[in-house]
Amino acid sequence: MKHLTRRHRVSAGTEALALFVGLSNAASRRLVACTQCRYNSTGTSPSGNVTVDGKSYQTDEWHNLSSNITASISRRLHVQKDHPISITRSIIESRFPSPTFKYHNNFFPVVSTQQNFDSLGFPVDHPGRSKTDTYYINQETVLRTHTSAHQADVFRANESEGWLISADVYRRDAIDRSHYPIFHQMEGARMWDRTKAPNGDIAAAVLKDIEALPKHSMKVEDPNPPTHPERNPLQKEHSLTEAEAIAAHLKKSLELVVVEIFSRAKAAAVSANPDFVDERLKVRWIEAYFPFTSPSWELEIFWQGDWLEVLGCGVVKQDIMDKAGQPQQLGWAFGMGLERIAMLLFEIPDIRLFWSKDERFLGQFRGLSENLDNLRRFVPFSKFPSCYKDVAFWLRSSSSSAGGGSRANTQDFHENDVMEIVRDIGGDVVEDVAKVDEFAHPKTGRRSLCYRINYRSLERTLTNEEANGYHEQVRKALVEKLGVELR
């Protein structure tokens, strides 16, 4: 197998791990200069107030929450009984039993910029801090962009040997079937304390815990050594036997999660189709690189003819524990995206469906929280026709992104501003938005962009007149809020 360091493609799992260990999701963001979007999507004045899930906050010029985001915060899908996201969380939690693991599922989504950025080492000019990427209540308060906003507090509290954090997270992003401004992450850790291990022998304590884990018969490809001096180095604070033992416990624990999830997925497939051809479940461990874990890995699953990356994991670097005031502890961490797992588990084709209130969707999962053995695949209730509309425009000539012109940060164009305008107006009626054309005027250098918006409801047939109404509002808003010139 080819030895890999860090590949350019990023899954929700690897991103969650990167955030867990103090690295932002830089690989999945557009790495441009940190600028502020030039409009307030809610129109709230700088001196106003906003209520988020019953709590009131002062707003300022950084405020950029839209009403549809604010209205969705109270949904809390990851703890909503019989919801696919909540069911997926429960299945994973079942492989990390209490009291060894403590579950943190109720952290409030509003956090400080110190929790969300500073405690994780985000530089002040990192694009993740920009209003183009993050929802701000005010300059010092945001909707968390990752579960790792709570990581330092949980490590510092040291209430259990292991823990899982599951939560809804918020980001301004693209619009398509696999991206939504609200999604869910889970991250977890398992630590061992040198002062509590017999004779201080961490390796022996970990190996004893491995023996207590259930066995599985899944085929696992893991051709690389537990550590490698260049690709996957051993930390100087750890002995080789300690690192090898922790790595073995980590991999075995996560393999058992995979067995649990995909065994249930296959059972649901057989229930839906008695002629379903069962293929032997295969997984493989890929060497990875994360700045704050070493050694590190990604886990891929061979599912329906393709290798799918589902999570990232590694041995936590010791300085993380030092900063949390727990220098005597060492262990492992992992991160994954719950939507990715739920879409595979239930074969849900569009991420918008998770937010549907249609009984034809929600009713399919009724009672599953009480009996996971009745797990079943999602059955599409209809495929409604799409309605494509294009919008083309010239960027402001005064914008640096438009060529020539004087530079003014407040005028810079960012694609996420387009996405947010479309989302504010169309909501879940918009299936996806894609840039289909871009060119620069040969004489002036002025840039022209064209976006194709696919209007398609998940719940009913959308008329052309309705789509035209949404689209006309989008066109007007682009002019009013971004100052573009329609073509």
354 shares a domain with 279: yes
Predicted local confidence at residue 291, as pLDDT: 67
Q: How far apart are CA 294 and CA 290, in angstroms?
A: 7
pLDDT digits 0-9 by tens, 264-304: 888 888 887 877 777 777 899 999 987 678 999 999 988 77
Q: How many domains does the chain have?
A: 2
Domain span including residue 433: 387-398+414-486
The pLDDT value given to residue 47 = 61
In this prediction, residue 395 carries a pLDDT of 93
| DSSP single-letter state for residue 442 | T
Q: Whose CA is closest to 393, among 469, 459, 282, 476?
A: 476
Do 223 and 334 lie in a common domain?
A: yes
User: Are residues 419 and 364 located together in one domain of the fold?
Assistant: no
- Residues 325 and 185 grouped into a single domain: yes
pLDDT for the residue numbered 265: 86
Question: Order of strands, edge to edge, in the sheet holding 101-104?
Answer: 101-104, 162-170, 182-193, 329-337, 306-316, 293-303, 282-290, 219-221
Q: Is the pLDDT of residue 41 over 60?
A: no
> 364 and 394: one domain?
no
Radius of gyration, CA atoms only, the chain:
24
Any domain includes 116: yes
Give CA 444 to chain center in angstroms: 40
What is the structure's pLDDT at 383? 82
What would the pLDDT profile of 234-251 be if each residue is shown by its tens digit? 999 999 999 999 999 999
State the Cα–Cα distance between residues 105 and 80, nearest whole angstrom: 11
Are residues 144 and 77 located together in one domain of the fold? yes
Q: What is the mean pLDDT of residues 218-224?
A: 92
Q: What's residue 289's pLDDT?
A: 86
Check residue 313 and give its pLDDT.
93
What length is written for the chain? Answer: 487
Tokens read off for 323: 């900063």
Domain end call among 374, 406, 437: 374
Q: CA of 46: how far to CAs of 59, 62, 64, 347, 410, in Å?
A: 6, 8, 10, 44, 16
pLDDT classification of 16: cutoffs 50, 70, 90: very low
In a domain, 16, yes or no: no
328 & 199 share domain:
yes
Which pLDDT belongs to residue 46?
A: 56
- Which element (helix H / strand E) includes 102? strand 101-104
pLDDT of residue 26: 33
Q: Are 148 and 184 part of one and the same domain? A: yes
pLDDT tens-digit series, residues 389-448: 999 999 986 544 444 443 333 357 889 999 999 999 999 999 999 999 999 999 888 999
Cβ contacts of 197 within 8 Å, gap of 6 or more: 204, 205
pLDDT at 25 over 60: no
**In terms of pLDDT, which residue wins out, 336 or 39?**
336
Q: What is the predicted pLDDT for the residue at 428? A: 92
Question: Which of residues 148 and 253 earns the better pLDDT score?
Answer: 253
276 shares its domain with 168:
yes
User: Which of residues 342, 374, 406 is at a domain's end?
Assistant: 374
Q: What DSSP assignment string belongs to 210-254?
A: HHHSPP---EEE--S-S-BTTTBPPPTTS-HHHHHHHHHHHHHHH
In a domain, 215, yes or no: yes
| Predicted local distance difference test score (pLDDT) of residue 287 | 95
pLDDT at 270: 81
The answer on pLDDT for 258 being more than 60 is yes
In a domain, 132, yes or no: yes
Does one domain contain both 352 and 205? yes
Judgement on whether residues 98 and 154 belong to the same structural domain of the protein: yes
Select the highest-mean-pLDDT range: 97-111, 139-153, 312-326: 97-111
> Is the model's pLDDT at 363 over the cut of 70?
yes
Is there a domain that residue 366 lies in?
yes
Query: In the numeric block, which tokens belong to residue 10?
Result: 């990023």
Residue-level pLDDT at 42 = 44
Residue 11 located in a structural domain: no
- Calculate the average pLDDT of the chain: 86
Note every long-range contact of 224-232, with CB atoms under 8 Å and residues 24 or more positions apart, other chains counting.
224/1, 224/3, 224/285, 224/287, 226/295, 227/295, 228/3, 228/287, 228/295, 231/3, 231/5, 231/287, 231/289, 232/287, 232/289, 232/294, 232/295, 232/296
CATH number of the domain within which 393 lies: 3.30.70.380
Question: Is residue 2 very low, low, confident or very high in pLDDT (cuts 50, 70, 90)?
Answer: very low
The 3-state DSSP class for residue 93 equals helix
Residue 3 within any structural domain of the chain = no
Asked whether residue 409 is domain-assigned, the answer is: no
* CATH number of the CATH domain containing 290: 3.30.930.10
Assess whether 309 and 279 both reside in one domain. yes
- Check residue 410 and give its pLDDT: 36
Sequence-distant (≥ 6) Cβ neighbours of residue 246 within 8 angstroms: 192, 202, 206, 238, 315, 330, 331, 332
